[in-house]
Structure 1
Amino acid sequence: MIQWRPDVLGEGFESLTFELGEDDAPEVVERTPEQQEGPLDARQLVATLIRSLPERRSQWARATGRRREFEDVDVLYVHGWSDYFFQTELAKFWTDRGARFFAIDLRRYGRSLRPGQAPGYIGDLADYDAEIEFALAEMRSTAQRNHPERKLVLLGHSTGGLVLSLWASRNPGVADALILNSPWLELQLSARGRQMIAPIVNLGAKLVPLEVLPQLDYGFYARALREVGPKADVARINAEWKPEQSHAVHNGWLRAILAGHDRVYRGLNLDVPVCVLLSTRTALPARWSEELTRADTVLDVEGVSRAALRLGRSVTLERVDGALHDVFMSAPGPRGDAYDRMQRWAKGWRRALE
């Protein structure tokens, strides 16, 4: 029986780990004798659900005070590539306003990564449906009786934004809103560049899915986070779960990403309103400079902004001046602007439902 336990983030956070079955995919590397006989079996796939709940108000406060604006809202967060959930400030934004906040560490990421597994590897982004659907089932089963019909906000960062956008497209009518924090909706080489390299990547993924592709990562994004991000969140980053230089990129994983980008390019026709938060500019991280603390050094924000318009019929694009790739890990000024923009959009969305 799975149970909620205190989480590594400390007071106010709980987590539960659930099994996804044995993995027979080619990405599993050779196991040591110790891993073959114990709970740390590289073939055992797991995912982790984390939650933070709003403080309960007294009966007197509920009777005499104003209703918190998101008391009937559940938020489900999915992290990006080479990442995991650690952003307590983001959770507190939602719980202070009455919402229940949940996050998933996907298989082979963060809390769910097991020795002997290729970090972050996936052969098909649709495989993440298992994690998302388990999370939603658990959220429904623990909903308060006074709010049986809760609204669902999907909140995704980078690759997590791509994953949730595709999931919402395949599962219309489930989510009520989608908020995307610098979603990876298009390859940095543009749609034409993606189409040119896709046949090569697909062939490599078929023949040698675990072959590691070359990439240049000097750790400058991690440095920018340390220099300007919220101090408490930065201090608790687990370097094994979110390394300074990103996880290795494999042929099979890149094929899955390119397939997701192609699906977005052809249009998702999402049936829910979408809010996309992006930095105003991209900076090339070839060498360190202070500019890298005021720009997205991971994605081409102009390419993403164009791709965002293919998500659905109601898309709001919010450009945050001076923001990093994770807009909620930016310097105090742009970070506050990002929260203000998200709150304004979310309040408008919620009131429109009344």
Structure 2
Amino acid sequence: MSATPPEQTWLPDVLPGFEQLTLPLADDDEGEVVATLVRRERPGPTDAGVDLLYVHGWIDYFHQVHVADLFEGLGIRFHALDLRKYGRSLRDHQTPGYVSDLRTYDEELEAALAVLGHGEGGATDRKLLLMGHSTGGLTLPLWADRHPGRADALILNAPWLEFQTRYLGRRVLEGPVRAQAAVAPRSHLVNVDQGFYARTISRRFEGEWDYDERWRPDLGWRATPAWLAAVFSGHERVAQGLHIDVPILVLLSARSTPPVRWSEDLKRTDSVLDVPGIMRRVPNLGTLVTLARFEGALHDVTLSERAVRDQVWREITRWVGAYVTPPAPAPEPRRPWWHRFWPAP
């Protein structure tokens, strides 16, 4: 693991067995800004020479310990980044999740990568694997497209590559959203979240997962027009086509269900994004993209029921073995000494 500058101190994390590092960032008009890097206190016994940086989605933070377990079982050093104004990085004086440009996250991505030993201009013989969920699955491919040669592969878990109303609906909404962003960037849009997704994943309801409701509230946050305009700009860039030239794995549920009313289908489908609309954008990411769809998967496919997760783990393991940690080629068989004088026919 790369050396950490002496002024940076890893502290015990809220998750047992993990530790966190605060990454100071440039202040903005709301004051102090930080991001938070999280890793296991003690790396696993095997090391495949790969570092992974995980980035969460909207109204989320890193709490998926089982995902870290999977990759560390493959010998991959797992790190997660709580972006500014999310999770561990959210401060009382801040508007949760607020940015007006997704490129703003370049600052914490670079700070985290520097700690991992993958800073810009740095030299390392370790591979870099990026993994993003939902909005993180939009932010990371945009970053990789602008920074070719930095990452060796990407895994995108239900990436938010297109708006739920698809292209035409997005273009209709874009004008009013941008107009509101220009005059009141931090005003609040209508919140359509009825808490159905939280009901499917939280152990307090019908799910099996524990997380901090302060950092992932059941009814979400009210989005701001400046943030949504930034997301729309990201969607448009994907629609025009990215040029990522490293392997990409996209994980999606097989189906989506609009969360207009509660139904049992919400427990077996993506109730956040429009799966068909996302699928249309997947080929726009780059030159080598693998799409894996899972019947019965939730929006975050890694939070689906155990049988579905087992399928997800198998596909990730197979893809990682093919594109990230392939076995070294077998050495050529040693030729007998007399072949130097009498070559084989």
TM-score (norm 1): 0.86
2:32 pairs, out of 40, 44, 62, with: 44
Mapped to 2, the partners of 1:306 and 1:271 lie a distance apart of 19
Equivalence map 1:115-126=2 (5 Å): 115-126=92-103
Q: Is residue 181 of structure 2 the alignment partner of residue 205 of structure 1?
A: yes
Q: Is residue 168 of structure 2 the alignment partner of residue 189 of structure 1?
A: no
The alpha-carbon deviation at position 148 of structure 1 amounts to: 4.5
8 A Cα contact 2:22 2:35, kept in partner:
yes
Q: Partner residue of 1:347? A: 321
8 A Cα contact 1:122 1:253, kept in partner:
yes
The alpha-carbon deviation at position 350 of structure 1 amounts to: 2.6
1:158 pairs, out of 117, 134, 147, with: 134
Q: Quick one: which amino acid aligns to residue 194 of structure 1?
A: R
1:268 pairs, out of 237, 242, 247, with: 242
Q: Quick one: which amino acid aligns to residue 112 of structure 2?
A: A
8 A Cα contact 1:54 1:98, kept in partner:
no
Moved over 3 A (4+): 53-57, 227-231, 351-354
Q: Quick one: which amino acid aligns to residue 176 of structure 2?
A: I
Q: Partner residue of 1:21? A: 26
Which segment is superposed worse, 336-345 or 177-186?
Answer: 336-345
Mapped to 2, the partners of 1:88 and 1:76 lie a distance apart of 14
1:81 pairs, out of 52, 58, 62, with: 58
1:2 pairs, out of 8, 21, 25, with: 8
The 3 A distance-change label for structure 1 pair 85 and 56 is closer
Q: Quick one: which amino acid aligns to residue 330 of structure 1?
A: S
8 A Cα contact 1:82 1:246, kept in partner:
yes
Q: Quick one: which amino acid aligns to residue 35 of structure 2?
A: A
Larger radius of gyration: 2
Equivalence map 1:317-328=2 (5 Å): 317-328=291-302
8 A Cα contact 2:256 2:270, kept in partner:
yes
Task: Give structure 2 stretches of 5+ with no counterpart.
Answer: 1-6, 329-345
Q: Is residue 156 of structure 2 the alignment partner of residue 180 of structure 1?
A: yes
Mapped to 1, the partners of 2:295 and 2:114 lie a distance apart of 38
The 3 A distance-change label for structure 1 pair 109 and 55 is closer
TM-score (norm 2): 0.88
Q: Quick one: which amino acid aligns to residue 16 of structure 1?
A: L
Q: Partner residue of 2:217? A: 243
Question: CA offsets per residue over residues 233-273 of structure 1, 9 Å max, x none?
Answer: x22x0001011111111110000000000000011110111
Q: Is residue 276 of structure 2 the alignment partner of residue 299 of structure 1?
A: no
The alpha-carbon deviation at position 216 of structure 1 amounts to: 1.4
Mapped to 1, the partners of 2:21 and 2:74 lie a distance apart of 24
The alpha-carbon deviation at position 52 of structure 1 amounts to: 2.1
SS in 2 for 1:149: coil
The alpha-carbon deviation at position 2 of structure 1 amounts to: 1.8
The alpha-carbon deviation at position 351 of structure 1 amounts to: 5.0
Percent identity over paired residues: 46
8 A Cα contact 1:229 1:330, kept in partner:
no
Cα RMSD for the two superposed structures:
1.9
Q: Quick one: which amino acid aligns to residue 23 of structure 2?
A: F
Mapped to 1, the partners of 2:131 and 2:156 lie a distance apart of 6
SS in 2 for 1:221: helix
2:108 pairs, out of 107, 127, 131, with: 131
Task: Give structure 1 stretches of 5+ with no counterpart.
Answer: 29-42, 58-67
